[in-house]
Amino acid sequence: MNATQIHVFDTYARCANGRIMHFDVVTLQREQPKALEYARQWLRSIGEESAVVNAESCAYCHSEATAPQTMLDDIIAQGYAIYKMEGCPP
Residue 1 lies in a domain: no
Supply the range of the domain harboring residue 12: 6-86
State the CATH number of the domain containing residue 30. Answer: 3.10.510.10
Residue 32 lies in a domain: yes
Would residue 79 be called left, alpha or beta, if left means φ above 0 and alpha means ψ between -120 and 50 degrees?
left
pLDDT tens for each residue of 38-87 = 999 999 999 999 999 999 999 999 999 989 999 999 999 999 999 999 99
pLDDT band at 21 (very low <50, low <70, confident <90, very high): very high
